[in-house]
């Protein structure tokens, strides 16, 4: 398995709009076992994204899907940046 945990920063006051875009662009993606977007309770503009994939190739392939490309294009103007990005190797999980 392949995993990613990242912190994304929205433009000031745009976090909820960014969450909405990310949520609608990630329905039923082949190879995605888990995709969780969460508000950072201590930072009004920060979002945490936790992903688990069956493989790194599936993650890479997802980036070319029309729904994902559309979400990226729509979100780009309100993304202020990325604070961290960590690769993981999940070994167990519940709910997949």
Q: Specify the CATH architecture of the domain 2-88.
A: 2-Layer Sandwich (3.30)
Maximum Cα–Cα distance across the chain: 36
pLDDT at position 28: 76
Mean pLDDT in runs of 10 for the chain (96 residues)? 97 97 81 94 97 95 90 95 94 78
Structure tokens at 74: 């729509």
pLDDT at position 94: 80
Starting at the edge strand that comes first in sequence, how are the strands of the sheet with 2-10 ordered? 32-39, 46-53, 2-10, 79-88
pLDDT at position 64: 92
pLDDT at position 35: 92
Stated pTM of the model = 0.88
pLDDT at position 67: 87
């Amino acid at each position: 398995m392949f995993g990613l945990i990242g912190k994304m920063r929205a433009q000031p006051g745009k976090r909820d709009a960014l969450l909405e875009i990310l949520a609608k662009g990630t329905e039923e993606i082949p190879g995605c076992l888990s995709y969780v977007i969460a508000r950072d309770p201590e930072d009004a503009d920060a979002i945490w994204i936790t992903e688990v994939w069956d493989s790194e190739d599936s993650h890479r392939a997802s980036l070319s899907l029309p729904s994902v490309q559309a979400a990226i294009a729509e979100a780009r103007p309100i993304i202020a940046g990325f604070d961290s990005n960590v690769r993981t190797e999940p070994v167990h999980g519940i709910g997949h």
